[in-house]
Structures are given as structure tokens and as C-alpha cells.
Amino acid sequence: MSSLMARAAYETLEPYHVLAYFNPHNEAAQQSLGLDPLGLYFGGRAAPLGRCTAAVVAATFYNFNPAYVNHGWNAALTAGLPEVDAARTRAVDASLRDALGDRVEAPELSEMVGALRVAIGEASYAGRPLAAAWAFAPWPDEPHLQFWHAIAIAREYRGDGHVAALVLAGLSPAEALVFHEAPHPDPDLRRRTLGRKISQKTRGWSDADWDGAAESLRAKGVLGADGAMTDAGAKLYDEMERETDHSAASFWAHVPDAAGLLDKAKPFVKAVIDTGYLPGTKPKS
């Protein structure tokens, strides 16, 4: 049951978090520090790791080209991680205020944060470096930002587990990205994909990198000549998703009334989606 809750939480809460990466306020945040999008992204997401090498960031983010990470992370280090974190927070704050309006004062936000902080305090972070870094990072003051921060911890907790599943499956970073974007035989399966063009651009892989990873996946029997998952590939994908959900289950088992929390969160998440800022969405009046 906890694995099902972990899956439901991921599907429900993800838009509230990824608003940080897709919003019109990021440009001003970048310009304030002389950064490009890579500097803000890597600096903002990995700031809790502290002044480590780019190799550590690449390892925890997994499916990004290490050279891409090196560029963005070193730019963030030059600008200053606290400054990048603050700029990212300002952009998230503005974006959430766009989305939520008067809901930024809603008491449900503090209630949901309180429930998530129970799990955050009780969770084990062994083998989960990025989640651990976020769990012990300073919290913002406002409830709508605290909710974003709490979701970030839960998301990276799941993400660290997913990286473990990818390693155990023997998929390289480029292979993991190509495999994730490949069509699954089940057309009704709910998946978040970006497509090859956006995935390559945001992860920093060249056409040669992508095609080489696809060829390797075909040699492993998990990708067909048409670029779609084979039956063996679908089985591998499904197994990795089950492993990821299972690895995140312990976190959600500690959340008091997790199902009730997700129900409370849905209007706030819908408001985020209705801004039209996220890929594949349109603004709703």
C-alpha cells in the first residue's frame, strides 16, 4: 500500500515542484547574477550539497552530460551558492504567487507542511545524498514556499532511489534518458516525457551521444529498431518504476494521513498547472 501511496504522491505533487524549472521569472533570476539557465538550474537544485565538485552533482543528477553539469555548476559556484539559491527562491515565490493568488494564505498549506515534516524528520537518508542535503538545508519562512521545500525533499528522496534502480539496471546516464523517452507498449500508462529535442537540449547530449545510447539499448534488447521499448524493455521499465516506488514507500509511510494530504494538495497543484507555465499546459482564466 505504501508503494501505491508513493506513486500517487509523485503523480500528484510533481507539478508544484517543477514549477521552479519552468516559469517566466527565472530569466530575471538569471540576469540578476549573470547566469545562463544551466547556472540557475544546477546551482538552485544542488545548492544544498555545498561547494563540492561538479562530478558529485553529475553523479546525483545522473542523466545529464557531465560536461553540461560542469559548465552550470562552476558558473553557480562563481556567482555564489547562497545567492543562486536566493534568486531561485524569489522566482519560485513569484511563480507560486501567480498561481495561488489568495491561496498563499490558506491554512491548508501549513497543515500539509506539518504532516510532511513528520516524515522528513523520521526518514532514513542512508544512500540518499541529494535528499539528505535538502532535508538539512534551511527552510523558507512562508507556508507556500515551505510546501515547495518539503515536496523537494520528498522528490529527491524518490529520485535518489530511482538513481539506484538505474545503476542496478546497468543503464548509463545517456541510456537512461533515451530509454525513459522511448514509447512504452502500453499507451494508457501515465508517463512524464519531454521528447528527444527538449531532453537533449536540457540534458546536454549530442545527436551522436543519443544515437549511440539508442544503439546500445538495441543491443541489450530493450529498444527496438523503431525506437520503442521491446517487451523486454517494457518489463525492465516497469520493474524500475516498481523499485522506485518501493524505495520511496518508507517516506510516505511516515506521513500522517498521506491520502488526505494529497487530497488537500490537489487544488494547489491544479492552480500551478492552470498558469500554463509547465510544458504541455495552457493558461486557464
Q: Which domain holds residue 114?
A: 2-273
Distance from C-alpha of 145 to C-alpha of 140, rounded to nearest angstrom: 6
pLDDT tens sequence for the chain (285 residues): 589 999 999 999 999 999 999 999 999 999 999 999 999 999 999 999 999 999 999 999 999 999 999 999 999 999 999 999 999 999 999 999 999 999 999 999 999 999 999 999 999 999 999 999 999 999 999 999 999 999 999 999 999 999 999 999 999 999 999 999 999 999 888 888 889 999 999 999 999 999 999 999 999 999 999 999 999 999 999 999 999 999 999 999 999 999 999 999 999 999 999 999 998 899 986
Residue 280: inside a domain: no
Domain count, the chain: 1
Residue 182: inside a domain: yes
Residue 282: inside a domain: no
pLDDT of residue 1: 53
pLDDT of residue 51: 97
Residue 281: inside a domain: no
pLDDT of residue 194: 86
pTM over 0.85: yes
CA distances from 282 to 5, 278, 279 (A): 28, 8, 9
Distance from C-alpha of 281 to C-alpha of 275, rounded to nearest angstrom: 8
Distance from C-alpha of 23 to C-alpha of 39, rounded to nearest angstrom: 16
Residue 283: inside a domain: no
Residue carrying C-alpha cell 494508457: 188
In sequence order, the β-bridge partners of residue 223 are 229
Can you give the chain as a three-state secondary structure string?
A: CHHHHHHHHHHHHHHHHHCCCCCCCHHHHHHHHCCCHHHHHHHHHHHHHCCCCHHHHHHHHCCCCHHHHHHHHHHHHHHCHHHHHHHHHHHHHHHHHHHHHHHHHCHHHHHHHHHHHHHHHHCCCCCCHHHHHHHCCCCCCCHHHHHHHHHHHHHHHHHHHHHHHHHHHCCCHHHHHHHHHCCCCCCCCCCCCCCHHHHHHHHCCCHHHHHHHHHHHHHCCCECCCCCECHHHHHHHHHHHHHHHHHHHHHHHCCCCHHHHHHHHHHHHHHHHCCCCCCCCCCCC
pLDDT of residue 285: 67
pLDDT of residue 219: 98
Residue 279: inside a domain: no
| Measured CA angle at 135 (ends 133, 141), to 5 deg | 115
Q: Looking at the chain, how many residues does it have?
A: 285
Residue 284: inside a domain: no
Residue 18: inside a domain: yes
